[in-house]
Amino acid sequence: MHNPQNSNDHDHIYFFMDDKVFSYYNESLEEGYPKTIQEDFPGVPSHLDAAVECPKTECQMDSVLFFKGQNVHVYDIPTKTVKTKSWSHLPNCTSALRWQEHYYCFHGHNFTRFQPVTGEVTGNYPKDARNFFMKCDNFGHGQGYKVPKCSEIKLDAITTDDTGKTYLFTGRVYMRLDNARDGLHAFPIIRSWREVVNGVDAVFSYSDKMYIIKDNQVYIYKGDAHYTLIEGYPKTLKEELNIEGNVDAAFVCPSEDTVYIIQGRSIRAIDLSATPRVVLRDLPLPLSNIDAAHCSSDGIRLYQGAVYYEYESPMILAASRIAPRPQKIPAQLFKCEP
């Protein structure tokens, strides 16, 4: 359970066996457990097949979905009430998983992705879990997979949204890093941003929105459980940011209203709080051929192929006339060969 609003549940792990529930915190069984399932989750049957948490950003309320046969018992955490649904189109789930806002029902060595409110299944399912969730000989991405050299890595864009998730774009795929424990995993860009089909030129995040720049178009997506294109977009660079030409990279620093757009050997500072947008400064850049840029509390990184250049702040970057010493992209970031 991941519910920071309720410290009684947050970061607790629940095991269900027969008619009992076991609650663990910090890998220790909590006092008073095991209990009957009815004591902790009234209205939920015993001898369950699977269970998965569903926060209110993705379900109607903070909930737990309990699976038994073809029935799904939706337990509302705040009110402790249960609604039972029959999802006969789903196979009997022997386990269920929520991962990166997607929900998976596992059955045998196959899995089916489903929508947690309606149970709707979109796409060609079931699929073999050995092709996606693990590396097995002669299966999927484990078959003939060659770890790339770090020198072959090339970023197109990188950004961190308001929730702290970092997105890295390369070619037609993106990788998302929630924390070091989860690691990086690659997905097609069109899986999350359906309108962006041929990669990106630059990406930045601002005010719970993600701005994607491709050619002379700006796509703005509202961040939520899933990114949704705002009505009326894409718009041209001129319409949205009051600039023209090819964009190499872009970044916004935390808690700032300025986006820095890199075009060749120039960097433009644009006020995002102004409507229409205002170009505040147009400054020379001591580097060229920048692929991606990112700003965090640790400073600014400008990526160029397999190396990056680090600056403490936009002010220092703007004042620099000589490029700092390049640093190699760390192997642990991309799981690449040094």
Please report, for the domain that includes residue 96, its CATH number: 2.110.10.10
Nearest to 218 by CA among 255, 167, 171, 270: 270
What's the pLDDT at 142? 43
pLDDT digits (tens, 9 = 90+) for 202-256: 999 999 999 999 999 999 999 765 788 999 999 999 999 999 999 999 999 999 9
Do 245 and 318 have their domain in common?
Answer: yes
Do 188 and 108 have their domain in common?
Answer: no
Please tell me the distance from the alpha carbon of residue 294 to that of residue 307, in angstroms, as a whole number: 13
Do 168 and 315 have their domain in common?
Answer: yes
Q: With 90 as the cut, is the pLDDT of residue 187 above it?
A: no
User: Which of 105, 121, 142 is the C-terminal boundary of a domain?
Assistant: 142
Mean pLDDT of the chain: 88
**211 strand-pairing partners:** 204, 220
User: Which of 118, 142, 166 is the C-terminal boundary of a domain?
Assistant: 142
Do 168 and 291 have their domain in common?
Answer: yes
Do 206 and 129 have their domain in common?
Answer: no
Cα dihedral 76, 78, 81, 84 in deg (nearest 10): -10
In this structure, which long-range contacts are made by residues 277-285, counting pairs with CB atoms below 8 Å and at least 24 apart in sequence?
277/240, 277/241, 277/242, 278/242, 279/242, 279/243, 281/318, 283/318, 285/317
Do 96 and 220 have their domain in common?
Answer: no
| Residue-number span of the structural domain to which 240 is assigned | 150-334
Q: Tell me what the mean pLDDT of segment 101-124 comes to.
A: 92
Do 155 and 284 have their domain in common?
Answer: yes
What's the pLDDT at 147? 54
Do 102 and 131 have their domain in common?
Answer: yes
Do 176 and 78 have their domain in common?
Answer: no
User: Which of 80, 111, 142 is the C-terminal boundary of a domain?
Assistant: 142
Domain count, the chain: 2
**Residue 46 has what DSSP assignment?**
S
Do 239 and 91 have their domain in common?
Answer: no
Q: Tell me what the mean pLDDT of segment 98-105 comes to.
A: 89
Do 163 and 132 have their domain in common?
Answer: no
